[in-house]
Structure 1
C-alpha cells in the first residue's frame, strides 16, 4: 500500500523509494494507459466515475490518520518558522480533503481557502461531522455544526471558501493574506504553461512571513516510474491525456524549484524519495523534455517556500 503523501518527514531527509511504491494495479502499463484513454473518451462526468470508485482523487480521504495530524503538523511547522500562530490558509487541489475544514478551523485557521479545478467536496455531512469529532478527540474545539444542513453551511461555519477554477480565482484573495499555503500531490498536475503564473499568484497572496509546503509526486501515475516521459509534447499536452485524467506536467524537481525562485520565493527541499537508478522508459525520455539527470532520480519531494 502506498503511504499517505502528507505524512510529515524530518527535515532534509532523503529516503529510497519503497518497493512497489505507487505501482497501481498489477497489469501491464500499456493496458492501464489504454483503459484510461478509453474511459476519458466516454461522455461520463468525473464525479460519476468517482462514485463507482474509479478516477478517484484523495485516496487517503477515509484514513483517520490524515484527518488531524497533517494540519496540526503544518501549523506547528509554521510556528517554528514564523514564530507565531498561522491564520489565513490556502490549500491547492484538496479534492475530497475539503472535509477537513472543521479541523482547520479548530486549529485556528481563518480565513480558509480551497482552490481546485473541479468540485470534489463531499456533499454528505457525514465526513465533515467525522472530522469535527476527530478534532474533539484530539483535544481541539471545532465549530458547532449542529445547525448545518448542507456542505456549504459547514464551510461557512468553518470560515472556509471553495474556489473552483484556475489561477484566476486567486485574485479573490488579498495581497499577503495567506500565512500558510499547502498542496499534496497537486503541483505535478498543473499544466506546464500555467505553472509560472500560479507561482506568481501564490507569491502575491503569501504573507511576508508566510510559509508554503508542497508535497510533489514526480513519478508517472500509472506505474510509479517514469514511463510517461516517453511521449511527445504534441500527444501528452493534448486533449486525450487531459480527458483521461492522466496529465502530469513532467517537470523535474529542479525545474519546479527554479520557477519558485523566479516568482520570488526562497526554497528548501525538505525531503526526497530517490531511486537508485532512473526508471526511464525504453529509449529514454523524449528529447524535447531536456530534463536534468538528477531529476530522473527523484520520485517525490517536499518543498518549502518563503517569500524571498
Structure 2
C-alpha cells in the first residue's frame, strides 16, 4: 500500500482529560443520568452526551473533507466520487461541502439520527465551501434538512450494519470515519467491516481516525472493568461505550475482513496510563497497544 511511514507524536499532559472532576464522580453521574428516560437528542440539546464538538468551526467544515478527497484521489489515481461516512453525528451538515468537492453519491451511516433539523448549519457549511473557492449546491429552495440532503445527493442511513445493504456492492470510492469506530460494539465490529468491504470499490480508500483513550478522563481507566459490566446496558445507556479494542486488534480485524490496512499517524503517551492493577485480564490486551492514544488508519481492498 503506497502509504507514508507512520508519523508518531507524543500527546501532551492532560490530553482529553475533560472536566476537572474526579474520574469516579464523572462515571457515577453518567451512569445515573443514563437511567433517566430522556431521549439522546434532548441530552445533547442540553450540552450533555454531545457529539461533533465544534461542528460549525469553519476549519472543521471544509479542510478535513478537502484533505480526504485529495488523499483518496492520490491513491485512486483519479478523483473520488462516491463517499460513505460512518458515524457522522451532526457532521451530516457538511453535505454541501462534500457536494461542492464533486463527491457523490454521498452516504452517511449512523446508529441514530443526529443530523441538525435547523437549516442554518447547512447554509453555514455551504458558505464555508464558497469561501474556500468551491461551488456548493443551491439551498435556497430547501425547506427541511431532508431537502438539503437531496440537493446535495446525500442520504442518511440510520440503524445498524444491515442498512449498508442499500448501497450497491463495489460502489464506494472513499469510506471514512472520525472517532467513530471505537464506539462500534465488539460483536458488531467484524460484521461492519465485512459490509464496508462489500461496498468498497476496486482500489477504494478507507481513512479512519480512531481514539483509544477513556472518554471520561483521557487515559485508560475504562480498561479496568470486566466485560460483563462494560458490554452491558448501563454503560450503553450512559453514552460511555467504546469497544476497548487496541490498535493492533483493529488492524487484525480490517485484514480479516479483506482489507490491507496501514497506520499513518499515531498519538502516543510517554508511558501507558493504565488503571491501578492494569487492564482487566479478560481483554487480553497487547502491551504494544497500551501507549496508543489515537491513530489514523488507511485501508484498501486486499
- TM-score using structure 2 length: 0.98
The one of 174, 189, 192 aligned to 2:183: 189
User: How far apart are 1:151 and its partner, in Å?
Assistant: 0.2
- Asked if residue 128 in structure 1 is aligned to residue 122 in structure 2, the reply is yes
Per the alignment, residue 111 of structure 2 pairs with 117
User: How far apart are 1:60 and its partner, in Å?
Assistant: 2.2
In structure 2, stretches of 5+ residues that fail to align are: none
- Asked if residue 271 in structure 1 is aligned to residue 265 in structure 2, the reply is yes
Separation in structure 2 between the aligned mates of residue 156 and residue 29 of structure 1, nearest angstrom: 43
Separation in structure 2 between the aligned mates of residue 284 and residue 19 of structure 1, nearest angstrom: 20
User: How far apart are 1:11 and its partner, in Å?
Assistant: 5.4
Separation in structure 1 between the aligned mates of residue 269 and residue 126 of structure 2, nearest angstrom: 39
Encode CA deviations 1:193-240: one digit per residue, 9 max, x unaligned.
001001100000001011000000001100000000000001000000
Separation in structure 2 between the aligned mates of residue 145 and residue 128 of structure 1, nearest angstrom: 9
Per the alignment, residue 250 of structure 1 pairs with 244
Structure 1 counterpart SS, 2:242:
coil
Per the alignment, residue 28 of structure 1 pairs with 22
User: How far apart are 1:12 and its partner, in Å?
Assistant: 1.8
Per the alignment, residue 3 of structure 1 pairs with none
Structure 1 counterpart SS, 2:34:
helix
Per the alignment, residue 165 of structure 1 pairs with 159
Structure 1 counterpart SS, 2:290:
helix
User: How far apart are 1:19 and its partner, in Å?
Assistant: 1.9
Separation in structure 2 between the aligned mates of residue 64 and residue 24 of structure 1, nearest angstrom: 23
> Could you say if the C-alpha distance between residues 102 and 46 of structure 1 is closer, same or farther in structure 2, counting changes exceeding 3 Å?
same
Per the alignment, residue 103 of structure 1 pairs with 97
Per the alignment, residue 207 of structure 1 pairs with 201
Q: CA RMSD in A?
A: 0.8
Separation in structure 2 between the aligned mates of residue 127 and residue 11 of structure 1, nearest angstrom: 37
Per the alignment, residue 144 of structure 2 pairs with 150
Encode CA deviations 1:56-91: one digit per residue, 9 max, x unaligned.
000121211100000000000011111100010000
The one of 199, 220, 224 aligned to 1:230: 224
- TM-score using structure 1 length: 0.96
The one of 131, 137, 143 aligned to 1:137: 131
Separation in structure 2 between the aligned mates of residue 145 and residue 133 of structure 1, nearest angstrom: 11
Separation in structure 2 between the aligned mates of residue 249 and residue 12 of structure 1, nearest angstrom: 24
Separation in structure 2 between the aligned mates of residue 192 and residue 156 of structure 1, nearest angstrom: 33
Separation in structure 1 between the aligned mates of residue 217 and residue 236 of structure 2, nearest angstrom: 18
Separation in structure 1 between the aligned mates of residue 131 and residue 56 of structure 2, nearest angstrom: 17
In the comparison of the two structures, how many residue pairs are matched?
299
Structure 1 counterpart SS, 2:191:
helix
User: How far apart are 1:144 and its partner, in Å?
Assistant: 0.7
Encode CA deviations 1:227-275: one digit per residue, 9 max, x unaligned.
0000000100000000000001000000000000000000110000011
Separation in structure 2 between the aligned mates of residue 19 and residue 133 of structure 1, nearest angstrom: 36
Separation in structure 1 between the aligned mates of residue 288 and residue 55 of structure 2, nearest angstrom: 32
Is contact 2:56-2:124 (8 Å) kept?
A: no
The one of 22, 36, 49 aligned to 2:43: 49
- Asked if residue 66 in structure 1 is aligned to residue 60 in structure 2, the reply is yes
- Asked if residue 81 in structure 1 is aligned to residue 70 in structure 2, the reply is no
